[in-house]
Amino acid sequence: MTSDPIADLIAAHGLPASYREVVARYWQPLANAIARRAADSSPLIVGINGAQGSGKSTLCAFLEVLLGARQLRTVTLSIDDLYLGRADRAQLAQKVHPLFATRGVPGTHAPGLGIAIVDAVLSGHDFDLPRFDKGTDDRTDAAERISGPVDVLLLEGWCVGCRAQADEDLLEPVNSLEADEDPEGIWRSVSNLWLRGDYARLFGLIDMLVMLKVDSFETVIANRLKQEEKLRAARPDAPGLMDEAAIQRFCQHYERLTRHMLGDLPPRADVVFELGPDQVPVALPKTLPAGLASGRLPS
């Protein structure tokens, strides 16, 4: 009996059997386009941008299988796994601004570690994939050792590819969190400064940028609530779980840059998937020619 990696992945992610059509209609053409780019330039660094709950990790899981069927070794690095630990963020909050205690904005990651991983991929060296546990809101020691050459590195994250804002755009708060807890704009200005530094250097290593574009920030909040429900069902005793009020406040940390990227990123991305309310693309992007849509799924 032959295995069906697509069916196995659909089952592992708790998706309906009909999701196979989504894979064939949208993710296979994207995998074909990535494979073509990788044939000309390998290793290939592919950025996957998308707001919370847009399905980035699910997409990357399918791309690993689809590209693996093309004999392309593919590894995913989530920018979430580059988050600083709780102790480091607490120190940052004490020295710079209290809002840096909460993971999310540029300044709460270790982009230098991401740069080192990309450099290792480009040079063919072994490297460790770090891991961050959202249930405990802290880093873990369970890094995954990656040996040998990698053909495609998928760098996924909510702010992947984000550019810094103009200084004048930082003057007015975008929500009550900024108005009440960052009235002088220190937190958002320092975060923007970091975005101009190591984050820009990390994102500058991306060869191909893909965006999963939600229709609004309100959708982000709804998706983040669903994420928390899944985490609670899987780990009801995890200390980092949040109720709805905490989620609403948490999402305000992301609001400024999420709204910024919804306007700034689509013209710059190589591929933009417009997502419907079910987080499924509404159409095949024009930058993926119809000729790339053909191809049998691995089975």
Reduced to 3 states (helix: H, G, I; strand: E, B; else coil), residue 234 is helix
- What pLDDT score was predicted for residue 235? 66
Report d(CA 158, CA 47) in Å as an integer: 10
- What pLDDT score was predicted for residue 269? 97
pLDDT, tens digit, 9 for 90 and up, residues 216-265: 888 888 777 777 666 666 666 666 566 778 888 888 999 999 999 999 99
- What pLDDT score was predicted for residue 89? 96
Reduced to 3 states (helix: H, G, I; strand: E, B; else coil), residue 161 is coil
Mean pLDDT across the chain = 90
Residue 285 pLDDT greater than 90, yes or no: yes
Residue 212 pLDDT greater than 70, yes or no: yes
pLDDT, tens digit, 9 for 90 and up, residues 95-130: 999 999 999 999 999 999 999 999 999 999 999 999
Residues 254-279: what's their mean pLDDT?
94
User: Other C-beta atoms within 10 Å of 128: how many?
Assistant: 13
Contacts 24+ apart (CB under 8 A), 100-105: 100/187, 100/190, 102/250, 102/253, 103/137, 104/250, 104/253, 104/254, 105/159, 105/187, 105/188, 105/191, 105/253, 105/254, 105/257
Q: Cβ(192)–Cβ(290) under 8 Å?
A: no
- What pLDDT score was predicted for residue 211? 97
- What pLDDT score was predicted for residue 142? 86
Q: Cβ(72)–Cβ(38) under 8 Å?
A: yes
- What pLDDT score was predicted for residue 252? 92
Which CATH number does 5-275 carry?
A: 3.40.50.300
